[in-house]
Chain A
Amino acid sequence: MPETAPAGGEVVPMSSGHGQPLAPRLSICWSRGNSLRVSLFSLASFEDEAGGEVVEVKLCDGGDGEISNAQWRTIAYDSVSPFAMLQNRRNSMSSFSNINPSPYHLECWEYMMDYSKDINVLLGNKKSSVDSLIEDPDIFLKKTEEPTCLKAAWELMEMFYVNKLSQAWLPERIVDWLADYDRLFAALHGTVHMKVMNFQNVHNDIEVYEDDLRYWDVIESALAVGWLEIVVKMLRRHGSYQLDQLSNRETENGLVEAVALLISKMPRMRSELEPGRLGECYKAKPDFIKAWDKWRGQITKLDSCAFWIQCHHGQTREGLKKLLQILLGNTNSLLAATTNWLELCVSHLIYIRPFTVGLESMYNLAQNCIQLKPMSSPHKLMNIIIGILGENTEVVLAECSKEFGPWMVAHAIELLTVGSNEAESLLHEERYNLGEISLEELHRLAYAQVLSSHALTWQIAPVYLSSCMKHGMGLLEILLYKQPVQLKELLLKNLEICRLYDLDDCSSNIMKMAGVYHWKHGRKGSGIYWLQQARDEFRLNKIAQQLFASVGKSISDESFKQWEGLIGLLDSESNAAGGFEFLHKYRDFKRSLQQIGDGKNDIAAQKAIDSLMLLMRNTSTPQRFWLPLLNDSLKLLNWQHRPLLSVSNTNLLLNKLQELSSARLHPGFVKPDLPAEALNSVRLALATNLGRAILEE
């Protein structure tokens, strides 16, 4: 093992636990947000070339990578405005509900629905996979972009939690949802979607459809989950429709068409049916029941009619009969036609229990279906569905968090609390263990922290933090303190956020940091500017003292020029530091002294002596500068043409000299860096001036 202290001090062996403990092989430090930087040292092999490295580790955000980081950022940006709008409307609502204490006002539903729809839109376009293409008879299912589980999960929550106005139509909405997202389940288990796609890929090779079992199988499955358009389209590919066959197979074709017709006339209880969709739409339950009974009667009638005997094509007869069984809600037929419990559940909703509305009955139905079609590892969306149906908010939340990460939780919590007292108390109750915040706030904080970890998203974190009543501002301050101060745009952005949220202390601390940074890095002007903005009198006074010190040391013209600019910056109005007043006056004095030139300009000399008197009278002029100032002014005191100082002024200066002499005895006296004879020269000059002034007056 090599030694770790090559020079000086004692040698500390790395391998021994005695004396100094082992140097750590790792060192950790949180970066902004939820990323941790880990330094990995390779000390043990000092002779090696490699010196170790630093890696950035992110606590897993959830999600299985179906959405890229860039897409997440887009979603994050786009969801800010719906979120902020919801908070605003809710705040104005809560002030309203003080008068009218009904939190579940109709208006509340409406703006929750607006919010949910806005979010839904930014999660991607709706890609309906059951849209049949009338133009192309060979295509039953459009090949569309893969939908995301994220959007599917959001729509589920919207459907169950928010869209309460169409609760009566819930079964049909679930049918539509599965039609849109059935393909998502393909990875883990077989799906009807997969069956249809597989058939579509091979159907050109099939000469006689009705002879092929796969044809009937796919139609059954599609019918079971309510994809009527596909079913009818496929039925019309039946060989009996071909012109040359029509006369021979008239009865057979009549049966096929009768079934297709019945399917396309199926009553559906829903608010509307988009153009091109089959079935007959009924909004109200009584109308629907009437139509349903009639329709079922027609099916039963068809099922028991005599024409079946005349149908000589066995497969067609069998196939159509099976379809009728599905339409009649035969549980075994439905079980056989579907591939997983969710599809089975949907088939029950269509053909057996179209009036299932309550969550409890849906939950029971789902449990029955799970028993009939058990699966070892359920899909994440299925877990969410079970959580929703079981009215288990915690499960839904946990699944959202695990599978989709903090964005989903922070935004979905809004949906979960709509109209549910249990969810409301679960999510809004303040918990001591969490630091007296609610779960809702906790998840918002966690999401804001994720936003904070990226340079492109930290600026939207404040929107979420401002909705956290208890800890939001505390975290926002920390976040702002962690932004670099050396870049001007960033600093200004930072200060703008402080202003927006009334974080005055934070703002002045940040300006202080910026001021010190610039001061220390040779940009003294910017340094002073930011310290003034921060009203940091303490540091500004120290700077003034530093300038005094440099003034006291050397008053050569070169050094004067160096700090003249700085003094110009020190706007005496914006700060009360007395020291700067002195520096301003001193600058004026030095200027006029320079303008005297060859010693013949009386006016300039008088101006200089006035400046001197202003300085000497001013209480803020430090005592240690009195003698250097007078020493600088020797030329003025010995002015040839006439005495520049009046008797009273000369006396004042002599008194100052006297004061200075007694001050020398004090322990804290700072001896100016001047030649020993300076004091005597000044005294002599003043005495001479006094004599001349008396004579003149």
Chain B
Amino acid sequence: MDCKTYKSVLKLDKGTACTAWNYCGQRLAAGTVDGTLAVFDSTDPASSSFRCSSRVKVHKAGILKVVWVPPEYGDAVACIFYDGGFSICEEAGEDSHSVQWKLCEFFNRGSSKVLDIQFGVSPTSLKMVSTYSDGYIQVYELSNPLELKNWQLQAEFQNVIDSISTFRKASCLSASISWNPMRGGQELSFIMGFNSDTPQLNSSKVWEFDGAHQRWLPVAELALPEERGDRVYSAAWAPNIGRPYELIAVATERGIAIWHIGLNPDLDGRLPMERVALLSGHEGEVWQMEWDMSGMTLATTGSDGVVRFWQSNSNGVWQGQATFVHTS
């Protein structure tokens, strides 16, 4: 089935390299190759017309990726730049007339480039995971919920199950982080996979915060034993509105794997898991995977320029549901 119903929502500035919609789909942040952050707004939720409310040059290098900060922390985005650094920009003002987008904080980790950033919300704090081209993961915590300036580095580690080994000369092309999207009391966790020349780093691992010892622990590795070195192009954790297991999609060169992850760890502290599907359809790499709000439909896209929709039928068999190819 092809998706035939579509309509144009807005025109992007020329040189736009990345976009991100905020939590309610009313604002679009778009980054351009000359380092400009443009924000498009719809004032009325019932209307689908958008206008550009702000254009700010935030950095000298181009913007590679934009990620929204969770709404409990204001209207803010993280921008990843082509030069390897990233910054946090926020819309704020002392009074309603002086509201504007401004830079809060710039991060640069020297020679290693940041590859991906994602934010996780716990009841008391905002955490930010950043991954770098040298295979390292950093977890930051925001110390003041009203100020996006002060970030404390909480942990730094590599994406390996065995914490003793470190890989100093890793070279990573891309990385994908996806937080467990559910709010609430449970411990924070995220999934992380690399596309690198170091097989041990690549496979997707679920990292969970061990509050008692204030550390991050790998609790699951989402790869069959013979596929652990596969480069991971994308990973996406589905919202769980009540399933007795978590649902995670991981894209490698073999296709898109759908995993069921148990909610309770076994005696080794590992989560039980099962790969329930390996979907193929995209030609080339899968760049992005997004679960819908119920976690019932997975939308994917990649180097073939096709958007595919995947769903499980009533017998639990995952299959392609629809495709969308834009023809201008």
Report which A residues bind B (CB closer than 8 A): 4-10, 12, 19-34, 36-43, 46, 48-61, 431-437, 439, 442, 445-446, 449, 452, 455-456, 470-471, 473-475, 477-479, 481-485, 487, 490, 505, 509, 512-513, 516-517, 519-523, 538-539, 542-543, 546
Complex Cα–Cα for A55 and B245 (A):
33
Contact B94 A520 (CB under 8 A): no
Known: A54-B9, A54-B12, A431-B314. A520 touches B74 (CB 8 A): yes
User: A433–B277 Cα gap in the complex (Å)?
Assistant: 12
Least CB distance, B194 to chain A, in whole angstroms? 12
Q: Is the CB of B12 within 8 A of A517?
A: no
A487 to B81 alpha-carbon distance, docked (Å) = 33
Number of interface residues of B (CB under 8 A): 99
Instruction: State whether A57 touches B324 (Cβ < 8 A).
Output: yes
Let me know if B173 and A21 touch, CB within 8 A: yes
Nearest Cβ distance between residue B309 and chain A, in whole angstroms?
A: 6
B326 and A28: CB pair below 8 A? no
Q: Which residues of A contact B3 (CB under 8 A)?
A: 57-60
Whether B92 contacts A520 by the Cβ 8 Å rule is yes
Q: Which of B24, B96, B299 contacts A523 (CB 8 A)?
A: B96
The verdict on B62 contacting chain A, using a C-beta distance below 8 Å, is yes
Q: Which A residue sits closest to B19, measured CB to CB? A: A39
Say whether B112 faces chain A, with CB atoms less than 8 Å apart.
no
Asked if A482 and B25 sit within 8 Å, CB to CB, the answer is: yes
Chain A residues in 8 Å Cβ range of B303: 22, 24
Since A36-B299, A470-B242, A520-B93 are in contact, a sample of 14 more A-B pairs with Cβ atoms closer than 8 Å, ordered by chain A residue number, is: A24-B18, A28-B290, A38-B324, A54-B19, A57-B6, A431-B316, A449-B293, A483-B45, A516-B73, A519-B146, A520-B74, A520-B91, A522-B92, A522-B95
A28 touches B241 (CB 8 A): no
Asked if residues A48 and B174 are in contact (CB atoms below 8 Å), the reply is no
**Which residues of A have CB within 8 Å of B155?**
none
Give chain B's interface residues, CB within 8 Å of chain A: 1, 3-21, 23-26, 28, 30, 33-35, 45-46, 48, 59-62, 64, 71-75, 81-84, 90-99, 124, 144-146, 173-174, 183-184, 195, 239-245, 285, 287-288, 290-294, 296-297, 299-303, 305, 307, 309, 312, 314-316, 321-322, 324, 326, 328
Determine whether the beta carbon of B19 is less than 8 Å from that of A27.
Answer: yes
CB <8 Å contact, A60 and B61: no
* Given A433-B312, A445-B296, A20:B173 Cβ within 8 A: yes
| B43 CB, nearest partner CB in chain A, Å | 9
B320 CB, nearest partner CB in chain A, Å: 12
B322 near A26 with CB under 8 A, answer no
- Nearest Cβ on chain B to A444's Cβ, whole angstroms: 11
Contact B285 A6 (CB under 8 A): no
A54 to B315, CA, bound (A): 35
Nearest CB on B from A525, distance (A): 11
Are B12 and A31 in touch, CB under 8 angstroms? no
Q: How far is the CB of B112 from chain A (nearest CB, A)?
A: 13
Query: Which chain A positions have C-beta within 8 A of B82?
Result: 4-5, 8-10, 12, 20
User: Please, could you name 29 A-B residue pairs with CB atoms under 8 Å apart, sorted by A?
Assistant: A4-B33, A7-B34, A7-B60, A20-B82, A26-B305, A27-B301, A30-B290, A38-B326, A39-B30, A41-B16, A52-B14, A52-B16, A59-B309, A61-B5, A433-B315, A434-B312, A434-B316, A435-B241, A435-B245, A436-B242, A439-B314, A471-B294, A474-B242, A478-B293, A482-B293, A519-B146, A520-B91, A521-B99, A522-B92
| Residue in A12, A53, A442, A519 whose Cβ sees the most chain B Cβ within 10 Å | A53
